[in-house]
Structure 1
Amino acid sequence: MSQNEAAEVSEAASEAKPTTGSPSEVFGVFLKLGLTSFGGPIAHLGYFRDELVVRRKWIDEAGYADVVALCQFLPGPASSQVGFSLGLLRGNGILGGLAAWFAFTMPSAVILFAFALGTSGFVEPIAEGFLHGLKLVAVAVVAQAIWGMAKNLTPDKERAGIAIAATFVVVFIGGSFGQIGAIVLGAVAGLGLCRGEVRALSGHLSFPVSRRGGAIALIIFAALFVLPPLLANATGHQAVALFNALYRSGALVFGGGHVVLPLLQTQVVTPGWVADETFLAGYGLAQAVPGPLFTFAAYLGAVMAPAPNGLVGAGISAIFLPGLLLVYGMLPFWDALRQRSTAQAAMRGTNAAVVGILGAALYSPVWTSAVLSPRDFALALTGFLLLIVWKAPPWIIVLLLAAGGALLQSVPS
């Protein structure tokens, strides 16, 4: 590379590097997302991409896919981990990450806590239609995310083939093993099919986390995984047992969202802390609120039969802690790894695999749980076209499709 070419690459990298913001800015943006991001973790990634990649340009498409790939590798709530990472990046430190996490999770946690205190469920037909409309929002948002990411991350036959193969892996294997297998397949295929020039990195993934800080976070993660069950057995203290149940649920699940619910049911229903019907009632509402489904833990903490319960029980947010510790611990090592030519080839493959994983998720559970009739298809298509063609903000789609679902519920088919 000549000196002029090197200077051009350096100048382009400098221009591409986004400026940092403040924790208060991060809090405001993620509060908006926490109030409007319906549809579960896959849809959340679509909301994040639209707001932070397309509109605000906090990070570019490839960098965003890199962060998503890392969080898909790790156990915990993937969307919350991605949000925490982007908060770290934009807010220039741990305060930015915590501001993003708190603002994104607080709205749904408050709603579920209020429901635990006696808020009635949505049982009227119009209300059911409203909730169904929110599911159709997820269809439109996920389809938009796949459309945009496919254009940028699968621009050639090789990467398109990796995306298709990843879809088949997820469909035939299923569950967290299918997702991890698809990403591993993408990485291996990328090493063989996606080698090319080393792309100049803009530095926008240089997260403000030192290797020492990352190592400390990983040590804390391991200590909290091992020590609380021993302490709970030794003391019989219910608060420690509750912390342990929620922490282990967050530490052992890949993919987050609905995958964590069977674990939670085992942890809190089996020992008799929460009645099965109470668990299912909260689960029903948790699917309809914005933000991460992991905030269902706030509801469970509030309705516990043994103390601590109520506000104290809801405040034990240990279910998020392992995922945040893991992503914080891995970020400094991930940034160094991705600068190697072999790692870049592997990441091209994993980014393509992420597109395939999202494609499989668009069908199940997003499409299969929402599009149940031609009316549903028409509403979902309307939302998708409003996002793609008219560039409407997602919150407009939320209002229109929720209202449309309620209206259609009142009209005989």
Structure 2
Amino acid sequence: MTRQIRLLLEILFVSTRLGLTSFGGPIAHLGYFHHEYVRKRKWMDEKSYADLVALCQFLPGPASSQVGIGIGVMRAGVIGGIVSFLGFTLPSVIALIVFASVLQGMDINDAGWIHGLKIVAVAVVAHAIVGMAQQLAPDTKRKAIALLALTVTLLWQTAYTQIAIILLSAVLGYLIYQKQNQDQNSQTPFSIPLSRGLAIICLLLFFGLLILLPVLREVTSLRWIAMFDSFYRAGALVFGGGHVVLPLLEKEFVPTGWLSEADFLAGYGAAQAVPGPLFTFAAYLGAVMNGWIGGAVATVAIFLPAFLLVLGTLPFWNDLRRNPKIKGALMGVNAAVVGILIAAFYQPIWTSSIQGPMDFALAAVLFSLLVHWKLPPWMIVVIGAVGGMLLTV
């Protein structure tokens, strides 16, 4: 028992340190994890880490958070996964809830620094698009899938658009790429300290909540259930990480009047300045709508699908990752993610942030500082906020 406590405290210490220092988005987070868990502490070998990353990229939700959960689970079981998640996530959750509390009662619509944060969002998402397009849509066929996803997202704006695009893209990827992946089945298995029975329960709970929450939302008309449902679906149905969740959350809360577009984009800009997963943006949104309790509920709701999916799929991953048809479907989905992200870049980010030549010039400067001069994201946020204030003078 004492050894288990020491193990959990060690996981908490390491993951919290990572949560306080891991700037730069999910790809950077995976690099930090690799250095800390594989090279430095040798909690797992290179192959097991690569397999875990592959699984979390296969699943919807925040990939870096899911990898952290998976490492905790493989190290100390389910409780280890929870402790690892808390350490990595809580620093940015607390920072964004505090930021939301500071903004309460302030008229931020015309504030120059808020406009600067909106322009920061332009630079950051443009950077994400460039990197993801190179990785996820390198060939003509996947570029075509991305273009289709972009077009449909912009022209058919409903609550079910993104789900339909992902399903269609999975079918296209399945049909196009299933034969091209048959030579990639030589992975070696890795051990998982979870039973398949627990995994099945977690998967049933994942799908059960996905079906039940919208029903409860309609039957009860309770604000808290509606909020939990919106954040849960965002965490359950979004492929591609934090940037791609932006359009889904925006459509859930801005048109309904739960918060203004200025509040939304200000929080998205602020989320770039804190370490940890970008999905903690939900904590800011929840806090703006319902105080710190709303921030806590939003955080639980958006990350709960990630927990259930990691616990539910780890015991089955050895079989799934050898299936070339599954790989082909995933390639199609990943290409669609690029198109969805470009659509989000146009609306609402670009249309609400770039109002003239000076805005575009500031966005270009921030993008160059981020991409070519390799400045950390928190410095881009500070420069953007100052630049926004100068633009209003």
Aligned-pair distance for 1:288? Answer: 5.3
Match of 2:15 among 26, 30, 41: 26
Match of 1:366 among 349, 353, 359: 349
Q: Which moved more, 1:280-289 or 1:398-407?
A: 280-289
Cα separation, 2, equivalents of 1:61 and 1:145: 22
Aligned-pair distance for 1:68? Answer: 5.2
Per the alignment, residue 70 of structure 1 pairs with 59
The residue type paired with residue 97 of structure 2 is A
Report 1:76-225 matches (<5 A).
78=61, 81-91=62-72, 92=74, 93-94=80-81, 95-116=83-104, 120-122=106-108, 128-194=111-177, 195-197=179-181, 198-199=183-184, 210-221=195-206, 222=208
Q: Which moved more, 1:320-329 or 1:90-99?
A: 320-329
Judge conservation of contact 2:201–2:312 (CA < 8 Å) in 1.
no
Q: Which moved more, 1:392-401 or 1:313-322?
A: 313-322
Structure 1-normalised TM-score?
0.66
Q: Which structure has the greater CA radius of gyration?
A: 1
Cα separation, 2, equivalents of 1:142 and 1:351: 16
The residue type paired with residue 327 of structure 1 is L
Aligned-pair distance for 1:85? Answer: 0.7
Judge conservation of contact 1:154–1:160 (CA < 8 Å) in 2.
yes
- String of CA shifts for 1:289-308, please: whole Å, max 9, x gaps: 42544222234333xxxxxx
The residue type paired with residue 390 of structure 1 is W
Aligned-pair distance for 1:352? Answer: 1.6
Q: Which moved more, 1:212-221 or 1:335-344?
A: 212-221
- String of CA shifts for 1:295-343, please: whole Å, max 9, x gaps: 22234333xxxxxxxx667654553365345434544256642331111
% identity of equivalent residues? 29
2:347 is the alignment partner of 1:395: no
The residue type paired with residue 85 of structure 2 is G
Cα distance change of structure 1 residues 203 and 301 upon mapping to structure 2, 3 Å threshold: farther
Judge conservation of contact 1:163–1:353 (CA < 8 Å) in 2.
yes
Aligned-pair distance for 1:245? Answer: 4.2
Cα distance change of structure 1 residues 141 and 205 upon mapping to structure 2, 3 Å threshold: farther
Per the alignment, residue 327 of structure 1 pairs with 309
Cα separation, 1, equivalents of 2:133 and 2:215: 44
Judge conservation of contact 2:213–2:229 (CA < 8 Å) in 1.
no
Aligned-pair distance for 1:107? Answer: 1.4
Report the 3-state secondary structure (helix = DSSP H, G, I; strand = E; otherwise coil) of the residue aligned with 2:160.
Answer: helix
- String of CA shifts for 1:210-268, please: whole Å, max 9, x gaps: 543333334445379859998xx9xx9xxxx66534433333455554644676699xx
| Root-mean-square deviation over aligned CA pairs | 4.1
Per the alignment, residue 340 of structure 2 pairs with 357
Cα separation, 2, equivalents of 1:120 and 1:65: 44
Structure 2-normalised TM-score?
0.69
Name the structure where helix makes up a greater proportion of residues.
2
Aligned-pair distance for 1:66? Answer: 6.6
- String of CA shifts for 1:73-132, please: whole Å, max 9, x gaps: xxxxx4xx434313213445412123333333221123324555xx64436x5xx22111
Per the alignment, residue 29 of structure 2 pairs with 52
Aligned-pair distance for 1:153? Answer: 2.3
Judge conservation of contact 1:137–1:397 (CA < 8 Å) in 2.
yes
Cα distance change of structure 1 residues 54 and 132 upon mapping to structure 2, 3 Å threshold: farther
Judge conservation of contact 2:214–2:229 (CA < 8 Å) in 1.
no
Judge conservation of contact 2:233–2:302 (CA < 8 Å) in 1.
no
Cα distance change of structure 1 residues 224 and 392 upon mapping to structure 2, 3 Å threshold: closer
2:363 is the alignment partner of 1:380: yes
Cα distance change of structure 1 residues 102 and 192 upon mapping to structure 2, 3 Å threshold: same
Cα separation, 2, equivalents of 1:284 and 1:359: 16
Aligned-pair distance for 1:140? Answer: 1.4
Report the 3-state secondary structure (helix = DSSP H, G, I; strand = E; otherwise coil) of the residue aligned with 2:59.
Answer: helix
Judge conservation of contact 1:387–1:394 (CA < 8 Å) in 2.
yes
Cα separation, 2, equivalents of 1:342 and 1:142: 31
Judge conservation of contact 1:83–1:100 (CA < 8 Å) in 2.
no
Cα separation, 2, equivalents of 1:174 and 1:206: 43
Aligned-pair distance for 1:351? Answer: 1.7
Q: Aligned residues, how many?
A: 340
Long gaps (5+) in structure 1: 1-20, 37-45, 72-77, 270-275, 303-310
The residue type paired with residue 196 of structure 1 is Q
Report the 3-state secondary structure (helix = DSSP H, G, I; strand = E; otherwise coil) of the residue aligned with 1:196.
Answer: helix
Cα separation, 2, equivalents of 1:315 and 1:148: 31
Judge conservation of contact 1:53–1:61 (CA < 8 Å) in 2.
no
Cα separation, 1, equivalents of 2:215 and 2:87: 30
